[in-house]
Homo-oligomer: A and B are copies of this chain.
């Protein structure tokens, strides 16, 4: 907790999602703003998922709103609402941050994948020329696949409970990317170096593994986007630690994102 005073001059940032109660960004970013001397707060903004396309464009007209974070299930809607988007967002089909630029235009970018890759690299792990398996082909999975490819991963297997989703994502990424092959796949952890859960399995207490993995090789790297309190890892991360693997948790991934997003907000 930090000492904080909100005045009429305080700039506004928000996080939109449905549900919204579980998000940790308001605390984290508001503290970060105070640390860098920015008179701003980041508050939760709960939008009904049936109303997003009506509410979001109007929300962006608040004149003292300088930026938004975007969480489930609005990452594609936010892409559509932005004026200008980073090219990787069109490949991914999603964004997770918007900022208002000096001309009043809304710029969007996607940091889920960059956060994960920063998390890997900050642990001294090597990514280039590796093979990866990504579980879950929603916005987070697509973002991580693109960022892993941009960081040098050469082969990525994409899995989803919905086969059509993994096939569509593989086709989409193969058509727009270079130097990495994307394939729709069953969740098979053999012959891959990096396994990443980008699905929501693990978010609820008592959730089991996102796929029926028995064990891992200690040389494999296992990551999970699901954000759990320290000391309460997801079943996937717990199994990987038992097997002696290097792990990248939701906390690692989110830490990697924060600095990148604050830089993005400040650039406007």
Given contacts A3-B3, A8-B21, contact A62 B47 (CB under 8 A): yes
Q: Which of B5, B26, B64 contacts A6 (CB 8 A)?
A: B26
* A 30-57 contacts with B by CB, 8 A: 30, 41-48, 51, 54-55
* A 170-211 contacts with B by CB, 8 A: none
Size of A's binding interface in residues, CB under 8 A: 40
Contact, CB under 8 Å: B46 / A55: no
Contact, CB under 8 Å: B12 / A45: yes
- A168 adjacent to chain B (CB < 8 Å): no
Given contacts A6-B43, A8-B44, A21-B9, contact A55 B58 (CB under 8 A): yes
* A 4-28 contacts with B by CB, 8 A: 4-10, 12, 15, 18, 20-27
Once the chains are docked, how many angstroms separate the CA of A21 from the CA of B10? 8
- A102 adjacent to chain B (CB < 8 Å): no
Instruction: Tell me which residues across on chain B come within 8 A of A51, comparing CB atoms.
Output: 61
Binding site for B on A (CB under 8 A): 1-10, 12, 15, 18, 20-27, 30, 41-48, 51, 54-55, 58-59, 61-65
